Amino acid sequence: MRRVSQRTTDAQEVPIPPLHADIYSKVALIPLGRVATYGQIAKLTGRCGPRQVGTALARVPADHDVPWQRVVNARGEISARAEGGPSALQRERLELEGVVFNGRGRIDLKRFGWTREQMLWAVEAHQFLGDEGL
């Protein structure tokens, strides 16, 4: 996992707020083909709510590899964007990872969701091993 630091187009270093960096580090732990909810990520950070997670993910710098597409709402849906409607790019990326949507545009969180136990194990392993554990 690359270190998260926001960059402008002129390569000037722009600091990322510590809360956003914490959110990005948690999202980076979600395995390929799995999803987590905004609420789950908020609980993992222990210092924000689901809306703050959404705000942070909306501001992921384009040149970073934070897998933002793996975070969905509590109904297993892709949340509507400010421009309106769900993100077609997010759905496309998830489908490429093997995540399946039903006819109503929902993901079965029992099948593709990142469980609480998996989340806690991943966070614990990351804290113990650091980047080498990823």
Instruction: Map out the domains of the chain as residue ranges.
Output: 6-133
Other beta carbons within 10 angstroms of residue 49's beta carbon come to 13
What is the pLDDT at residue 107?
98
Each residue's pLDDT tens digit, 67-78: 999 999 999 999
Each residue's pLDDT tens digit, 87-130: 899 999 999 999 999 999 999 999 999 988 887 788 777 766 66
User: Helix (H, G, I), strand (E, B), or coil: what is residue 43?
Assistant: helix
What's the CATH fold of domain 6-133? Answer: Arc Repressor Mutant, subunit A (1.10.10)
pTM over 0.85, yes/no: no
CA separation (Å) from 23 to 73, 86, 92, 125?
A: 15, 21, 23, 17
DSSP 8-state symbol, 83: T
**d(C-alpha 110, C-alpha 113), whole Å:** 6
Looking from the CA of 66 toward its CB, the CA atoms found within 13 Å total: 24
Q: Is 25 exposed, middle or buried (0-12, 13-18, 19+ CB in 10 A)?
A: middle
Q: What amino acid occupies position 68?
A: W
**d(C-alpha 72, C-alpha 35), whole Å:** 7
